[in-house]
Structure 1
Amino acid sequence: MTLTGSGFIRLPGGSVVVALSLPRPGGSGHRVRVLVHAANRPRALTRLRNLGLRAVYLRGNTEPPTPDEVTAVLHHPDGLVWRGAPEDDTESWHPIRALLRPSVPEQLSPR
């Protein structure tokens, strides 16, 4: 899937931060903003594909990461974070594991 609202920025050391707007897993119709720090763009996309997001491609640079987004991903130990409301600066960035973990089915209460 070619993604709108995506882009990248090359850092002074040569690495890149890639920002992608992806559909939220589970088909809720909402989008999430995902940030990836990697040595280069292909490696950033490979990191996402290795997590199961197989059809992720970056075409163009329509919405590169903001300085705040770059700071957020550089200060996270995994270098891979997401936020459910990209326009809401008050929402925290979350580790990618929190987005991709399987949802726990609701247990039925006994009658």
Structure 2
Amino acid sequence: VLEGKDVIGAAQTGTGKTAAFALPTISKLGSHQGTRCLILEPTRELAAQVYDSFQDYGKGTDLTYALIHGGVGYGAQNEALEQGADVVVATPGRLLDHMS
């Protein structure tokens, strides 16, 4: 992540996968504006967990985050995307809905 390369990882629950990519990502993002990190998760539950982790790890920064998944209305999600959240955590289906 720190070298600017894409990352794919798999390991058991509780091994620190999210922290392993979230902390260097937050460090690298700095204070520029606009979406610069997109994280795709297969389910809304996993997306919500990763989103919560990023918010926790990013406390004390000016970074903004958006959670984009189905099962809820589009209003707040549209607003977060229009404002240019630094980090977007999304499920593929809802992200495609927003792109069309």
Give your verdict on TM over 0.5: no
Larger fraction in strand: 1
Query: What TM-score, normalized to structure 2?
Result: 0.24
Using the size of structure 1 for normalisation, the TM-score is: 0.23
